[in-house]
Structure 1
Amino acid sequence: MATEELDIDEWAEKVGLPEGRPRRITVHGTPVLHRPCREVTEFGDELKQLVADLLESMDAADGVGLAANQIGIDARVFVYDCPDDTGFYHVGAIVNPVLEPFDPDADLDKDEEGCLSVPLEYAPLARPAIASVTGQDLDGNPIRIDGTGLLARCLQHETDHLNGIVYVDKLGPDEREAVLAANAARIEAGEMPPWSEGRPRES
């Protein structure tokens, strides 16, 4: 875990990111959100630019995490700027993340969950209250992130994204239908947030 609390700009400077630009966030129904993303095999300037853009996009949408396919990029990487259960903020990126297996007897956090790709809609979703992810940093070195509280939920949510799973896929049928119906109504009414693509892409 981090031993110093950094904001996005401080962390970006520390790891040598270029200037990022915010991109529109993809909407549920866009194909790239519903299939597993490709493993990252090249660690260089292109990856750093992607991470810089992800951070800017997440910040523009006031999010706590964002996966590459949420800006239309088929790559296994996500960023986060999220507090743990003590209120300590963790910021960073992880490449090719893999969730560690959960203890079947682990405590569950039953809070509401939302998603920038299904904006402004929320539903209760039970997830393990502690989560660990292994993967690589921006130079390809092995890293591990341990999370509690909201950070644990974020690590699970974003890794799910890279596996082609949106949180609504984990809801019961009635809850899922209600969230997606509300999202569809918002799309048709033109009420999506300015940082959203507004409606699903066809490809």
Structure 2
Amino acid sequence: MTERQIRLFGDPVLKTVSAPIEKIDDGIRGLVEDLLDSVRPEGRAGVAAAQIGVNLRAFSYNVGDAFGYLLNPELVELRGEPELVDEGCLSVPGLWFPTLRHPEATIRGIDLDGNTVELTGTGVLAQAFQHETDHLNGMLYLDRLDRERRREAMKQVRESTWF
């Protein structure tokens, strides 16, 4: 398929809760191919379907040796005390802010054959699982910032060349 254009902050699809995938068909197979192609470029840890304009519960990830996708993913366990980690987002290009994330996350979803897949990630992979799940719930990492940081982030968004 193809690498898809990333939707930017302000696009309503990014604030919409994504619908569950009810049936795996050629359209869903194509979506997975597009998600994988869209996360492949260097520096991309994850891409949620909402970020390419599709309001369905699916995302791809690409962190170290971990490369893949999940359909209907749900976080099933978060471990460790949340800690501030630098976080950015393809939908909010050029901005990075400390965001509270758990250091370990377990996520469960299905693959294209309908099989249950459960993955556990630490560090950046755990962060990606949490970040992409937020996207599927209509949330951006900016929504997790404390009041002062969010104010600064919104100022930077307004001053950005892409907004």
| TM-score between the two structures when normalised by the length of structure 1 | 0.76
Determine the C-alpha separation between the residues in 1 that align with 2:41 and 2:124. Answer: 20
Matched, 1:179 2:160: no
Which residue pairs with 1:147 in the alignment?
A: 121
How far is 1:108 from its partner?
3.0
Structure 1 residue 184 displacement after superposition? 2.1
| Matching residue of 2:8 | 27
User: What's the offset of the Cα at 1:60?
Assistant: 4.0
- In structure 2, which of residues 41, 44, 47 is the aligned counterpart of residue 63 of structure 1? 44
Give the whole-Å Cα distance in 1 for the aligned partners of 2:49 and 2:68: 14
Distance 2:28 2:138 in 1: 20
Report the 3-state secondary structure (helix = DSSP H, G, I; strand = E; otherwise coil) of the residue aligned with 1:24. coil
1:131 pairs with 2:105:
yes
Shift >4 Å, 4+ stretches: none
Q: Partner amino acid for 2:66?
A: H
Q: Structure 2: 5+ residue runs without aligned partners?
A: none
Say whether 1:114 aligns with 2:91.
Answer: no
Report the Cα distance in structure 1 between the residues aligned to 2:61 and 2:43, rounded to whole angstroms: 11
Superposition TM-score, scaled by structure 2 size: 0.93
Q: Give the drift of 1:181.
A: 1.8
**C-alpha displacement of 1:44:** 2.4
- The count of residues paired between Structure 1 and Structure 2 equals 163
Indicate the structure (1 or 2) with the bigger Cα radius of gyration.
Answer: 1
Q: Does residue 40 of structure 2 align to residue 53 of structure 1? A: no
Identity of aligned residues (%): 37
Q: CA deviation at 1:109?
A: 3.6
1:102 alignment partner, SS class: strand
2: CA distance, partners of 1:164 / 1:76: 11
Partner residue, 1:164: 138
Counterpart residue number, 1:17: none
Q: 87, 91, 95: which one pairs with 2:71?
A: 95
CA offset at residue 61 of structure 1?
A: 6.8
Other structure's SS at 2:40 match: helix
CA contact (8 A) 1:64 1:81 kept: yes
